[in-house]
Amino acid sequence: MILRKNQFSAFDNSGLVKCARYAFMPNKLSFCGPDKNRDLFAYCQNQETDQGLNLILEKFQTLYPYLKFIAQSNQIRDPFDEKVVEAYWIGSYFLENIKRPGLYNHLVDGLRLKKKFNLKLFRQITDKIPLGAKPHHSFHVLSIWKKFNDADLAYALSSMDLCRISWGQIEKVNQSNLEVSYCPLIFKDDQLQLGSEVSHKISYQIDDQGFINDPQVGQWVSFHWNFACEILDNLQVAYLKKYTQENIQLANFS
């Protein structure tokens, strides 16, 4: 069901909208969450929310446990508080408040990894906790998700690069896509790392609608599965770089 603006209640929560922006494309591609991508897109377009969006996002079986864990670790009641959502998708000081035992329990009870992996693979993941693992989206993509999707190197690299939240600086604005400069994930000297900057096209509209209004050359933009999520400020870019780099390093400890 496509929701129109006048169907929304007065309730508004920017954290829910932000979360939906990042959850939209993997949902559209049928990778995670219930089949609600049309609703997610409409909520983001209207930038207003009701309980319906809350219920959709609660059904994301990986996303929601992460948000609950980050919220609880920072004494915040609402898992969809904007600061919690920001910490998971982009990164923030909230992640520095995570305790090692809590993260271990989250992996066991929240994500149930002990039941999904054999003991060797489970230990490969939990051994990264003392090394500084944080509940950031890139940690899940690079150290957990990839273990569900072992494949040839080229496919694995492409999938991880698309699934992580990337950042790029806009070089050119076209009718429905943006040309951005970004650093792709590469495999070099038997290690994952970020490569040199390259030009790359990402979509920012579907049927002339998207989440970014009037993008400008020089702005920083985040993207997920090659779809633009939001314009980033310099601090957000710095956090996203920091936690992505940290989790690339952790991914190489396997």
Four-residue CA torsion sign, 36, 41, 44, 45: negative
- Section 174-183 average pLDDT: 95
Q: Where are the domains of the chain?
A: 5-148, 153-251
- Secondary structure of residue 180 in the 3-state scheme: strand
Q: How far apart are CA 21 and CA 37, in angstroms?
A: 10
Q: How far apart are CA 94 and CA 32, in angstroms?
A: 25
- The model carries a pTM of 0.92
Backbone angles phi, psi at 150, to 5 degrees: -60, 130
Residue 12 has pLDDT above 50, yes or no: no
What was the pLDDT predicted at 73? Answer: 97
Backbone angles phi, psi at 204, to 5 degrees: -135, 0
What was the pLDDT predicted at 147? Answer: 53
pLDDT tens digits, 126-164: 999 999 999 999 999 999 865 544 556 777 899 999 999
List helix spans (H) across the chain: 14-28, 37-46, 51-58, 63-73, 82-89, 100-105, 113-116, 119-126, 137-139, 146-148, 153-163, 234-251
Cα 8 to Cα 41, 49, 113, 170, 250: the distances in Å are: 14, 6, 37, 33, 43
Backbone angles phi, psi at 99, to 5 degrees: -95, 145
pLDDT tens digits, 83-135: 999 999 999 999 999 999 999 999 999 999 999 898 999 999 999 999 999 99
- Bridge pairing between strands 177-182 and 166-173: antiparallel
Q: How far apart are CA 191 and CA 60, in angstroms?
A: 31
Q: How far apart are CA 218 and CA 112, in angstroms?
A: 42
pLDDT tens digits, 227-241: 999 999 999 999 999
Residue with tokens 């950042």: 167
Nearest one of 86, 76, 18 to 49, comparing CA atoms: 18
DSSP 10: S
Residue 50 has pLDDT above 90, yes or no: no
Backbone angles phi, psi at 192, to 5 degrees: -70, 140
CATH topology of domain 153-251: SH3 type barrels. (2.30.30)
pLDDT tens digits, 15-36: 999 999 999 999 999 999 999 9
